Amino acid sequence: MNIDTIKNFTIDDYQNAYKNKEISPTEITQLFLDRIRLLDPSLRAFLTVDDKGAMQRAQELEEKKFGEADFPPLYGIPIAIKDNICIQGLPTTCGSRILSNYHSPFNATAVEKIIKAGGIFLGKTNMDEFAMGSSTENSGFGPTRNPFDPKRVPGGSSGGSAASVAALEAPLALGSDTGGSVRQPAAFCGIVGLRPTYGRISRYGLISFASSLDQIGTLTRNVQDSLALFSVISGQDNRDSTCAPYPPFSSSDCLHEDEIKKMKVGVAKEYFTTGVDPVITQRIQEILNILTKEGFEVVEVSLPHTDYALEAYYIVAPAEACSNLARYDGVAYGYRCNQPLNLQDLYTRTRTTGFGKEVLRRIILGTYCLSSGYYDEFYLKGMQVRTLVKKDFEESFEKCDILLAPVTPSLPFKFGEKSHDPYQMYLADVFTIPSAMAGIPALSLNCGYHQHLPIGLQILGAPFQEGKILSFASFLEKILLVPPPDIDSLHPKKEVH
């Protein structure tokens, strides 16, 4: 087999090939490692590639004998992991130089579950430093490039994970989503990105940015694989006090086609403003017309506090970040400046040289919002707005089953286009932040292309209603027939045989 043979494979296809002895886990793993070796010097999706560990794991799986009934759900499937999710023995840098020498002594819960399910880790992917960014330009180790156009960003902060899946350097990846960091890069890279309900997946082993917002999510080439990976890593975990007391997600939670067609599809007028690229608005309107012809009832709803969600997020998230990042002071672990004059100099020089500009900006902003005299004026009001945003969604889901919206207001933008203006960069997440503030599940689905650049559609649901989102997304994926990413057709010289 070669890359052309497996580019449209689902997890089930890999599993069937293994069961029929058409290929082995070591051959598939080597295929992806070769692909990474070929493409990643220019793409830079990975910060660490664990060639030896991946091949050793594949060999161990081959030596085990599994029957049809106990065949692990991710047996022999290579996976890329965002570099803020801990894998024992591998670097976990969070895209920051302050953690450049840190190797995790333990596995994240999601990683443990993938190991138990038979997955193979290819390595750790690039990201905006401490997940703060929307373009992966803020990585302390250089940016990742969009596989569809190397002059454009892949989105962020999970840009490395999204690019690796789009370029078929890995069939699956994990990312983290605080305000849109799975869905936005999924849209920019033409793949499927799922942010589940807050608490649906354990955050144990996920390095914190904003603890009340962070959530591990999945990045895949199709909805079916998203469902399968989510089923493996979801579920209660006693090591994470914020993890919801729900069992792992199951395909039995999904709907049948006749149930799907009875769903009411909501459209929030606040998500279709003059600031949205007309190409995106037009494509979503075309999809709404298709759904109407398919017999779906489309209803208009209102989310009146949407305009305030972005501002509230950039109070709440930096406030939590400044607290979480206080531990990186050059004392316990991580980078330490050379020859400090005193304790104050140690703290100051370690943090100003170890952290990048965006991280420092958010630490300062968060510290200000939590400072004496400003807590009530900023942070408390931000939390009150968050409650109003959540209430908007609750009222909307009384009128509809799911909501459709853009993922981003624009198509993938060029490097440097927004980095000079932080507010313009923050606006890249304007449609993903409200649902993150509300803690509800949302999925980004590739719904078409414009001049080779992907267009993302966002599907949002009520808390713990991932079954509805995934069922609808799977149905829509089938009727739209949008081909999965194929960067080799855009760059013939990069073909792998």
For residue 208, the model assigns a pLDDT of: 96
Of 113, 114, 86, give the one whose Cα is nearest residue 99.
Answer: 86
Over residues 484-490, the mean pLDDT reads: 76
What's at 10, amino acid-wise? Answer: T
Over residues 231-238, the mean pLDDT reads: 97
Task: Provide φ and ψ at 52, rounded to 5°.
Answer: -65, -45
Domains of the chain: 3-265+398-494 (3.90.1300.10), 306-387 (no CATH)
Contact between residue 350 and residue 363 where contact means Cβ atoms under 8 Å apart? no
Residues 423-435 pLDDT 10s: 899 999 999 999 9
For residue 171, the model assigns a pLDDT of: 97
496, pLDDT greater than 60: no
For residue 205, the model assigns a pLDDT of: 98
What residues are labeled active site?
82, 157, 181
pLDDT-derived band of residue 140, with 50, 70 and 90 as boundaries? very high
492, pLDDT greater than 90: no
Residues 310-362 pLDDT 10s: 999 999 999 999 999 999 999 988 899 999 999 999 999 999 999 999 999 99
pLDDT-derived band of residue 452, with 50, 70 and 90 as boundaries? very high
Contact between residue 396 and residue 461 where contact means Cβ atoms under 8 Å apart? no
Over residues 99-112, the mean pLDDT reads: 97
For residue 489, the model assigns a pLDDT of: 72
Kindly state the percentage of the chain with pLDDT values over 90.
91
Residues 158-181 pLDDT 10s: 999 999 999 999 999 999 999 999
Q: Provide DSSP, 454-467.
A: EEEEEEEESTT-HH
| C-alpha dist (Å) from residue 131 to 85, 101, 138, 219, 410 | 11, 18, 9, 16, 21
415, pLDDT greater than 50: yes
Kindly state the percentage of the chain with pLDDT values over 70.
98
For residue 497, the model assigns a pLDDT of: 38
Residues 20-79 pLDDT 10s: 999 999 999 999 999 999 999 999 999 999 999 999 999 999 999 887 778 999 999 999
For residue 233, the model assigns a pLDDT of: 98
pLDDT-derived band of residue 494, with 50, 70 and 90 as boundaries? very low
Please state, rounded to an integer, the average pLDDT across all residues of the chain: 95
pTM, rounded to two decimals: 0.96
234: helix, coil or strand?
strand
For residue 491, the model assigns a pLDDT of: 61
Start-end of H helices in 44-182 = 51-63, 109-116, 159-166
Residues 453-463 pLDDT 10s: 999 999 999 99
Measured over all CA atoms, what is the biggest interatomic distance in the chain, rounded to whole angstroms? 72
